[in-house]
Chain A
């Protein structure tokens, strides 16, 4: 009886029709997946081909699929918020439910959508761009993915089991502390981010070593494609920023579960120290999700303007400067805390400084297009739309950087408009552009251009209609995170909601395009779908699991462009040698599944089960330590068979 009571009153979220609907659909979808896998006898295939894979290409694809699912979830949250805010006095969501939804929207979009989407693209593309056969630590790469996947799962089940966190994606204390926010909801935030953070850190280390140590012969640092450079800089920021988040989350967890006093009002704790630590990580995080997008746009603009990237070195150095400066601007997120004039002035100035290298890049892109013969394919359209939209976001960012003025803008819709203009125009456009651009490499056919363009126009127009009015709403005094609006804000809010619907339509068309193109698009016969310039286009499509049969010698930047000019190939039969590849492993999946159990237990403060789960994780580590499997060799014969088959269509 007690158990039943617990289940109905605490464990499952009850009393919300919307959530009952979600529960039913989750159960139905789960059953459908299990049924399909069983009916078509696909369980073995799923385990062998996907769950145990260490292939960077498959891991990349899994990241992207998961990120699209999260974009859907975060997008539904956004639409629900827009419905609630369209008219004054709406009763679609109550204030508590609204709080939960803006919290999960923000957290999911940053941690479980933007980062994994970009990391997925990096995973697929970077080893191909530098002429490597996998990343430096393939096992660790699988571990990274599963830690993200289980972290995301943990965070996402909160809304049906135990309740969603409701203190905002920034989770400021004391509001997120145990006194004002008891129960499992906030723990889901802490543990979900903690589990996925482990994987992100590992990804950072992995890519740094991969890029520094596994480049093809002759590819000097200054000959690397710019997307690889942006990945390297991003990875460095990840390695030095994520431990801060790890500690901050751990401290709040200890506060909530074990009664310490870091961020509490009692025991002389300091709630604002949470904000300080959160943004010490949080601002570098902004650059973690924007730099790879810059890299993507650079690749695309150069390819479709049919010109070498203008100011390659300036681009590289500006990213290096950003990597250093991104760690010294964090206080601009809480100017209104009331630190002294010297503190706020210092961080005002550094914030304005960091706009300079970012501005340099804008001129790089414009310079690249200048006198280029531009082709307007969908990836290029996303990149072109990015530039003006991002500039609007950047300029309003500099307005926010002035500490004195920030006291006016702070916590209004002006801020909401600003960061959506940088994050959507930067990161989301970048993800769509990158996915469309590299789609033929990944799946062997392009996305349909016509449908792609329709989706693009819906999304971009909708985006501007949705977020531009928010600047004015902010200036008119509308606070962020309010669950109900005043009548005088109605017209602009109605406009914004219309924009949101257009964006949703754009997204649905994008997803439909994936289905449509899978059915009807012309298959790629060569590996070079867009007349590309970097080395990823030198491989065949589909890419063999060992990527390159033979590695070309790199003698300058734009490796593939030069290769094409001199008629080289990545398949030189006289240079074939057996290729060493890593073995697949089920340990990452199982280890992170156990980590999921442990952290789920910690969410509910079931300490015994948490310890049991953690022991399971440790056992997996021991097993891994005693595993001396050294991988296997692909024979020359097998390489020949694979390459002949893949190259049939080319002649």
Chain B
């Protein structure tokens, strides 16, 4: 449809009809992601306790590390919000700086997650150990993979920001990757709660 004829005074990413449709489409995609993760949660819940000969989760889960990971991701979600805020103020520099901080925090999270997986494997809990551990690794691993994807995607968009500056198209892309990032935080909150906390209690 007619591009960029729809101007209003709102945020840059909503100025074109394409921009608005892309963002709506991405929201709907996030709806699909909710279903994807809830299927993994359902599988995890049904297979809970089926550890066979492998260690039980309560033997392996440790509060300090899980809390650090959670805070890293929560903070990155906050800094991502600040980045978008700077974009809406028209500050390319602020946007880039806060986005890089966000990605650094995301990388930190991934580092901890990889360490955690390796540690569990040493303790005798890996993907093929039992139904429970299969479900654990696939659920948290899928989330980790999404984080990795989010980081790589954001790097691509940082390059485009450098090439083109803030335009309706680049700011729409930043906004969408921002939505993705916050969404991964939402998923993590539920992993933190229903996998780690419940795993430590039951």
Contacts and interface: CB of A to CB of B under 8 A. Distances in A.
Give yes or no for direct A-B contact (beta carbon below 8 Å): yes
Interface of A: 132-133, 136-137, 201, 204-206, 208-209, 212-214, 239-244, 246-248, 250-251, 254-255, 258-262, 264, 266-270, 273, 276-277, 280, 577, 579-580, 622, 625-626, 628, 630-631
A261 B25 contact: no
Interface in B26-45: 28-29, 31-33, 35-36, 39-40, 42-43
Contact of A205 (B25, B36, B134, B164): B25
A130 to B, nearest CB: 12
B33 A243 contact: yes
Contacts, number: 126
Contact of A268 (B1, B40, B132, B137): B132
B17 to A, nearest CB: 8
Interface in B13-30: 17, 20-22, 24-25, 28-29
B46 A270 contact: yes
Contacts of B201: none
A549 to B, nearest CB: 14
Contacts of A631: 3
B130 interface: yes
B127 A133 contact: no
Interface string B50-79: 111000000000000000000000000000
Contacts of B134: 254-255, 260-262, 267, 269
B138 A625 contact: no
Given A209-B21, A209-B24, A213-B20, A277 B43 contact: yes
| Contact-residue bracket for chain B | 35 or more
A630 B156 CA distance: 19
Given A201-B32, A244-B35, A213 B21 contact: yes
A626 to B, nearest CB: 7
Interface in B127-141: 127-132, 134-135, 137-138
B3 A209 contact: no
Contact of A240 (B35, B42, B46): B35
Contacts of A276: 46
Contact of B25 (A137, A255, A266, A269): A137
Q: Which 4 A-B pairs have the closest CB atoms?
A: A268-B50, A260-B134, A243-B36, A259-B128
B147 interface: no
Interface of B: 1-3, 17, 20-22, 24-25, 28-29, 31-33, 35-36, 39-40, 42-43, 46-47, 50-52, 127-132, 134-135, 137-138, 153, 156-157, 160, 164, 169
Contact of A262 (B33, B47, B52): B47
B28 A247 contact: no
Contacts of A213: 17, 20-21, 24
A160 to B, nearest CB: 33
13 contacts: A136-B25, A205-B28, A206-B25, A208-B25, A240-B31, A242-B32, A247-B39, A254-B134, A260-B127, A261-B52, A262-B134, A267-B52, A267-B131
Contacts of A250: 138
Contacts of A622: 156
Contact of B32 (A132, A239, A248, A262): A239
Contact of B138 (A254, A264, A580): A254
Given A213-B20, A213-B21, A273-B47, A208 B28 contact: yes
Contacts of B50: 267-270
A243 to B, nearest CB: 4
Contacts of B31: 239-240
A269 B131 contact: yes
Contacts of B43: 247, 251, 262, 273, 277
A596 B130 CA distance: 31
B24 A268 contact: no
B25 A244 contact: no
Contacts of B156: 622, 625-626
Given A262-B47, A280-B39, A268 B32 contact: no
A63 B20 CA distance: 28
Given A137-B21, A247-B43, 20 more contacts: A206-B25, A209-B25, A212-B24, A214-B1, A214-B21, A239-B28, A240-B32, A242-B32, A247-B36, A251-B43, A254-B138, A259-B127, A260-B127, A261-B52, A261-B134, A262-B47, A277-B39, A580-B1, A626-B160, A631-B3
B39 A273 contact: no
A247 B40 contact: yes
Given A273-B47, A625-B160, A243 B131 contact: no
A243 B22 CA distance: 20
B149 to A, nearest CB: 10
Contact of B51 (A264, A268, A577): A268
A194 B10 CA distance: 40
B130 A261 contact: yes
A435 to B, nearest CB: 29
Contacts of A251: 43, 138
Nearest to A628: B169
A260 B128 contact: yes
B42 to A, nearest CB: 8
Nearest to B28: A205
A516 B2 CA distance: 41
A250 B2 CA distance: 40
A248 B43 CA distance: 9
A577 B164 CA distance: 29
Given A239-B31, A269-B131, A580 B3 contact: yes
Contacts of B131: 261-262, 264, 267-270
A625 B24 CA distance: 18
A268 B52 contact: yes
A273 B132 contact: no
A254 B128 CA distance: 10
Nearest to A626: B160
Contacts of B28: 205, 208-209, 239
